[in-house]
Structure formats: C-alpha cells, structure tokens
Amino acid sequence: MGTIQLKTYQFKGSNPSCEDKWFPRVDHYSTISTDELCQLAADDSRVERSEVKYVLSAIVKQITEMMLLGHTIVIPELGTLSIGADGITVEEWDDVNCQTMIKKLKLNLRVTPEIRDALKKVSLRIK
C-alpha cells in the first residue's frame, strides 16, 4: 500500500472562526503526463504505447460527449462519472430559471468500493 504525503497550511481568509487554524492538504509531488500514463499502461499490457494513446483519446472524447448529453458513465475498475450541478433554491415556480439557479456544473466521480477501501488503508505522513 502507498503513502500519501500531506502538507499543512495556516488558514488566512475571510472566515474569523477559522483564522490562524491549521489544515492539511495532499502534497502532490508530480503530475503524470498522458504519454507517461500510456507508457505505463503499455508496459502493463500487450498493447503499444501509441495504440494506448489513441484509444485513451477516443475514450475521453466519448466520455465527454456522452456526459454532455446527460449520460452517466460506469467504468468498473474506477467508478461512475456524471455531471452534477451546484445551485440555489427558489420559493416560487415562476422564479425557476436555469441561468439564475445553477451556479456551476461539475464532474462527479463515485469511486468503486475497491478504491474506497484502498483509500482507507493508505498511510498518511505530514511533510
């Protein structure tokens, strides 16, 4: 099992109840490029890196198109992807309006139970 490194920060902001309190964030020490990810997948399979890259690109394109049409995408080894919305409520039906009620759209990922269990078992370390 891996180890996730955390970095602590002191809150400085507009919320007086949190002022000067400390909080942790995951310390991401690198970003894996698409080429690196495709090479890792190629090393783990019998498929060439270039083919993995073409397939990954096609899958991402299809996932994006399908979600923007309102579909939910299930990837068994990862989880369920869907579009969600942050919005506000209104008192009257006449006030219902997508342009004023929806503040932003977001991508939801509900991970598989296996990933959820792995996250419970990972060790944490403060940097």
Q: Could you report the per-residue pLDDT of 87-99, keeping only the tens digit for each? A: 988 888 988 988 8
pTM score, two decimals? 0.75
At 64 the pLDDT is: 95
Give the dihedral of Cα atoms 52, 56, 58, 64; nearest 10 deg: 180
At 73 the pLDDT is: 97
Name which of 6-20, 94-108, 112-126 the model is least confident about: 6-20
Q: What is the pLDDT of residues 65-74, one digit of tens each?
A: 999 999 999 9
At 18 the pLDDT is: 76
Residue 125 to residues 2, 25, 27, 117, 118, Cα–Cα distance (Å): 11, 11, 10, 18, 16
Task: Give me the percent of the chain exceeding a pLDDT of 90.
Answer: 70
HEC assignment per residue over 49-109: HHHHHHHHHHHHHHHHHHHHCCCCEEECCCEEEEEEEEECCCCCHHHCCHHHHEEEEEEEE
User: DSSP letters of 16-32?
Assistant: TTTTT-EEEEE------
At 21 the pLDDT is: 86
Task: List, as own/partner pairs, every contact residues 100-104 make where C-beta atoms lie below 8 angstroms and the sequence separation is at least 24, other chains included.
Answer: none
Mean model confidence pLDDT for the chain? 91
When pLDDT is cut at 50, 70 and 90, the band that residue 13 belongs to is confident
At 1 the pLDDT is: 67
Q: What is the mean pLDDT of residues 111-121?
A: 95
- Give the three-class secondary structure for 45: coil
